[in-house]
Structure 1
Amino acid sequence: MKKIFAILMTVSITYFASSQSKTFPIASTLTTIDGETINSNTFKHDGPIIIDFWATYCKPCIIKYNTLKDKYAEWQKRTGVKIISISIDPASRVESAKKFVEAFEWPYEMYFDLDSELISKLNNGSKVVPLTLIYDKDFNLVHKSTGASVLYEGSAKKGVKHLYSGKKEITDFTVDLSKYFEIIDQIISK
């Protein structure tokens, strides 16, 4: 009887442990948009997750978030994807970053990597943004990319030259997100 009980307990514990969401494997201190401190190893999710780094000085980052925000709710509902957005702006720029989030109504989970510790750990010491990391539900890295493919709104013509010359508004541009959609679809089809 003791042997059967021990087997049942082992099976129960194993099932319970395997049914829980995995957490992010790298520990780094971050700040929430409300000013609270958290650790990145508390991130968890039951589906694919995108961790995306940005800064207020990065126009392609802002364009990417604006392009994605209109598609995010439907994409999240269809695939279960979660986006964690992390600003690498220094403490002196936090209020400006918050204004971007509010003005553009970005729906993503938002944090600040004030000392750029996490981005450095995840990108071999580099602090280049935008940096996009796509993980499966077990936090296995599936895709890593820097940069964004900036386009004129509604066309296939590259728009980076005009974006930085200031001849157009930031809302006149879009980012090609097809690669991200494709990767998430591959993750959920496994």
Structure 2
Amino acid sequence: MKQLTFLFLFAISMANAQKELPNVTLKSIENKPVNIQSNFKETDKIYVYVFWATWCAPCIQELDAINDVYDGWKENLSIELIAVSIDDSRTEKRVKPLINGRGWDYTVLLDSNQDLKRALQIANPPYTVVVKNGKIVFEQAGHTPGGEKDFFEKLKSL
């Protein structure tokens, strides 16, 4: 029975590991279309997609914390952070002022119809998806203050 349970858990983990990044087109904050697969496909580069919203305090805390260390991450890794706002059409107008006020130096995309969020089966923000060579290599739900140090160690191991 233990072997059967182990095989079942192993099969589930393998099914979730290394899945493809969906082919979805979002909007930039300049309202231009951006295709996730074709715009972010540099070989061996790590793409970190952080799903957030203007109304989500832990999301903003996480992006602020990463912003404090992001330059160091870029010095050590070939990495790009893409902040994917899941604000809907009513709250989308708050995104650009918030980004400007925080001074975030991230690529920001708008997923106002939540197409990418749905395709990745994300329940709630904050949620982080790490992609390398078009494959999802790590996912993390939630934010823990100070967790960016452990997260950076995880990124270095990829």
TM range (shorter): 0.7 to 0.9
Considering Cα pairs closer than 8 Å and 6+ residues apart, tell me whether 1 or 2 has the greater RCO. 2
Is 1:184 the equivalent of 2:155? yes
Is 1:91 the equivalent of 2:89? yes
- Contact 2:50–2:129 at 8 Å: present in 1 too? yes
Q: What residue number does 2:70 align with?
A: 72
Between the aligned partners of 2:87 and 2:106, the Cα distance in structure 1 is 17
State the identity %.
24
1:182 Cα deviation from its structure 2 partner: 1.2
Q: What TM-score results when the alignment is normalised by the length of structure 2?
A: 0.80
Q: What residue number does 1:143 align with?
A: 138
Q: How does 1:75-154 map to 2 (within 5 A)?
A: 75-123=73-121, 126-136=122-132, 138-150=133-145
Gap regions ≥5 residues in structure 1: 1-23, 151-174
Structure 1 pair 140–28 and aligned structure 2 pair: CA distance change class (3 A): closer
- Report Cα offsets for 1:13-70 as digits up to 9, x if no partner: xxxxxxxxxxx74111211010112222222234111111000111011001111112
Structure 1 pair 25–68 and aligned structure 2 pair: CA distance change class (3 A): closer
Aligned residues: CA RMSD: 1.5
- Contact 1:53–1:129 at 8 Å: present in 2 too? yes
SS at match of 2:139: strand
Structure of greater Rg: 1
Q: How does 1:1-40 map to 2 (within 5 A)?
A: 25-40=21-36
- Report Cα offsets for 1:91-146 as digits up to 9, x if no partner: 221221111100001111110001001011112xx44101101122x122221111
Q: Tell me the number of residue pairs that the alignment of Structure 1 and Structure 2 aligns.
A: 137
- Report Cα offsets for 1:153-180 as digits up to 9, x if no partner: xxxxxxxxxxxxxxxxxxxxxx421231
Gap regions ≥5 residues in structure 2: 1-19
Deviating 4+ runs (over 4 angstroms): none
1:183 Cα deviation from its structure 2 partner: 1.3
